[in-house]
Amino acid sequence: MPRVLDPSQIEAFADRDIPRIRLPDEAQVFARRAARLKHWSASGARGHGAAIADYLRLMAVVAEAQQIALAGLTVPPLADEAIARARTHGMPVAQAAGLERDPAWRAILMELCEAALRTPRLPAGVDAVCGRLRDSLAPQLEEHAEGVLTARTLDVAAAPFVMSALQVYWVRLASRLSGAEVSPLDVPGICPVCGTPPVASVVRVDRGSSGHRYLHCALCATEWHLVRVTCSQCLATQELTYHWIEGGSEAVRAEACASCRGYRKILYQEKDMAVEPVADDLASLALDLLMSAEGYHRASGNPLLWQSP
């Protein structure tokens, strides 16, 4: 009698020689995000109106500035000894919390603030936030960074800008690693490069990864494989349900777990090749409202829309 396989079984029987880690493409990572943010801002962000559309437009400007800053960023590579030690102990190779940062990230923050201030029709308060960051001393900015990286932010309004600068820094670190230097961790819910939780996951259709699901890091944009129909928070494989907004994009759904009552969004390239985890997650706030009404909590937030812990 024929047997119907679910996606996780299909994936398990498929070619096992797939890339387990996908390091960020530094030539396009923020440019793709900017293009997607522009797309959603122009289309009204799925019915959320002018306020969220203006914010998405601002974040598109920031993403474009991130791509420019990344192209000009030079930072010391990670030490071979540190990489080897992390692999030996099954730890992220560039753990975000506690890693000594090059001061270059603060210059990037200033560049992003300048780009934001040149944007017409700024959302309310952005000029004040950027002005406050520009006037901050180095110790204050480092304190902001530690607050963002450890999810105990000190300035909620400034957090998306601080995080955006840190993203540029960590994408550069991650993109200079090789696949041989990064291994999946025993705890699949955190990034193997920087230890940050994923913002969402994406089921890819590109050659070598087709049909496989990858979690996308909110900080360094590294992706790592997780079998489909598996909760990315508690790893349960039963009682997972998939939710979406009727009439909205078929490429964005919320994968919800009855065991931990958490959810993360999952994107499907087969439905829309242009999906980008950070941008599409940010633009689908209506789905977050739906999930909250259903009694589910986000497993982790969007790095460009800070939520206090």
Residue by residue, what is the 3-state secondary structure of the chain? Answer: CCCCCCHHHHHHHCCCCCCCEECCCCCCHHHHHHHHHHHHHHCCCCCCCHHHHHHHHHHHHHHHHHHHHHHCCCCCCCCHHHHHHHHHHCCCCCCCCCCCCCCHHHHHHHHHHHHHHCCCCCCCCHHHHHHHHHCCCHHHHHHHHHHHHCCCCCCCCCHHHHHHHHHHHHHHHHHCCCHHHCCCCCCCCCCCCCCCCEEEEEECCCCCCCCCEEEEECCCCCEEECCCCCCCCCCCCCCEEEECCCCCCCCEEEEEECCCCEEEEEEECCCCCCCCHHHHHHHCHHHHHHHHHCCCEECCCECCECCCC
**Residue 207 confidence class, pLDDT cut points 50, 70, 90:** confident
The pair phi, psi for residue 104, each rounded to 5°, is -55, -30
Pairing assessment for the beta strands 240-243 and 252-257 based on DSSP bridges: antiparallel
Residue 46 has pLDDT above 60, yes or no: no
**Residue 188 confidence class, pLDDT cut points 50, 70, 90:** confident
Q: Which two tokens stand for residue 59?
A: 């974040």
Structural domains in the chain, CATH included, are: 25-179 (3.90.1670.10), 183-298 (3.90.1670.10)
pLDDT tens figures, 286-301 = 999 999 999 999 999 9
Contact call for residues 283 and 304 (beta carbons, < 8 A): no
pLDDT tens figures, 300-309 = 999 998 755 4
Separation CA 264–CA 234 (nearest Å): 12
Across the chain, mean pLDDT equals 90
Q: Stretch 128-139: mean pLDDT, rounded?
A: 95
Residue 205 has pLDDT above 60, yes or no: yes
Res 1: pLDDT = 40
Question: Above pLDDT 70, what percent of the chain?
Answer: 92
Q: Which two tokens stand for residue 24?
A: 């960020």
The one-letter amino acid code at 245 reads: I
pLDDT tens figures, 178-187 = 988 998 898 8
The pair phi, psi for residue 164, each rounded to 5°, is -60, -40
Q: Which residue has the tokens 């936030």?
A: 129
pLDDT tens figures, 8-17 = 444 554 446 7
